[in-house]
Amino acid sequence: MPDDRPVPLDEYPVHQVPLSMKHVATGDRNAYDRCIFHVLDHEGRALLIAGLGVYPNLGVIDAYATLRRGDTLHAVRASDALGEDRTRLAVGPLRIEVEEPLRRLRLVCDDDTLSYDLTWTAEFPALWEPHHLQRRGDRLTLEGRRFVQAGGAAGVIRAGGEEFRVSATEWTGTRDRSWGVRPVPGEEGGRLAEDHPTEGFHWIWCPVRFAGRFLMVVTQEDADGYRTLNDATLVHPGRRDRQLGWPQAEITYRPGTRDPERALILLGDARKPRELEVEILTSSPLAVGAGYPPADDWQHGTWRGRGWTDRCTYDLSAPSAHPLAAYGVTDHAARFRLDGQTGHGIFEHGSFGRHDPSGFTGFDSVAP
């Protein structure tokens, strides 16, 4: 018989539907609730990415951390059965402690391959991203609610015999928190996938921390350039958020690839746009180590048994060694310039399949 007794979170007045907090309101197997953190130094020496997710209808909790240093990527991943205490954000050697909601969190990984103990502190209020909907034919395949923040991090990171002392003046932290429904491996595509094949996908997600202000840009486009997600917002504490219209990106790709070398994003008034310059410092493909599709060794939400922990070290010097990475999203630590001011953050980009505005004609199309 199933154990359907109240769980600790039921003590709090946070219910949205007449169910225990043990259950989500949807029976969709793809229900999820997770987060991602980025911690990057301002010289491009290192990029740490860490995240944790729960999949209530699959009974899975998992977490990961990757650190890029030079051409080496260190990765730790862990997965387990989801327990009843949803306030305990821990799996294997990885954990997240909410010290002050929306303000200060502690990130910990206690592993020989990669270890860190960091305090992540927000400098700006959390900003809602646009409500994200995606359908395949008539079926809803993705519905996500997300917020984003930027700030600083302090503490220590150790990997590969090196130690990094992290400070808020020389490192930037960003984070994204999301929940809803999104595809988890293990589901057959069926007729809808056959009748509605993916032709192309073009994505930019760009949180930037400047001194005294925070910029968020996000766009998603179909193969023909039709925009299904769009937002550009400048947050300046004490003032009303400023909307910067319909961002237009001009991306310079490395010849023979779809890896960006730099970009220029035009914001605001089309007659006299503000220019956001993007300088790539270092990059980490999310399909390598971090469990994002189309990773071939581990993906989020997949059941690996109880108490599963995995450690890997990847050589990123030869992109041909990781051919699937080109068909996923890559997080680029970047230096940004806007209105004469320099900032730091993430230029997350994915472009695969056809994308008419960029001149890409199919999945094998690359920059000349």
Segment 166-223, tens digit of pLDDT:
999 999 999 999 999 999 998 777 888 899 999 999 999 999 999 999 999 999 999 9
Which amino acid is it at 184? V
Confirm if 205 and 230 have CB atoms less than 8 A apart. no
pLDDT band at 286 (very low <50, low <70, confident <90, very high): very high
CA 273 to chain centroid, in Å, comes to: 28
pLDDT at 186: 87
| pLDDT tens sequence across 31-85 | 999 999 999 999 999 999 999 999 999 999 999 999 999 999 999 999 999 999 9
pLDDT at 147: 98
Residues 6+ apart with CB under 8 A from 316: 68, 71, 72, 73, 285, 288, 322
Calpha distance 361→367 (Å, rounded): 11
* Largest pairwise CA distance in the chain: 66
DSSP three-state, residue 101: coil
Q: Indicate whether 1 pLDDT > 60.
A: no
pTM of the model: 0.96
Calpha distance 113→34 (Å, rounded): 23
pLDDT band at 271 (very low <50, low <70, confident <90, very high): confident
Percentage above 90 pLDDT, the chain: 92
Calpha distance 208→339 (Å, rounded): 13
pLDDT at 320: 86
Task: Kindly list the domain boundaries of the chain, sorted by start residue.
Answer: 32-358
pLDDT band at 146 (very low <50, low <70, confident <90, very high): very high
What is the number of residues in the chain? 368
Calpha distance 100→117 (Å, rounded): 17
Place of tokens 């502690």: 106
Q: Does domain 32-358 have CATH number 2.40.370.10?
A: yes
pLDDT at 190: 85
Q: Indicate whether 2 pLDDT > 60.
A: no
pLDDT at 125: 96
* pLDDT mean over 234-255: 96
Of 319 and 96, the structure prediction assigns the larger pLDDT to 96
Calpha distance 187→1 (Å, rounded): 27
Q: Indicate whether 161 pLDDT > 80.
A: yes
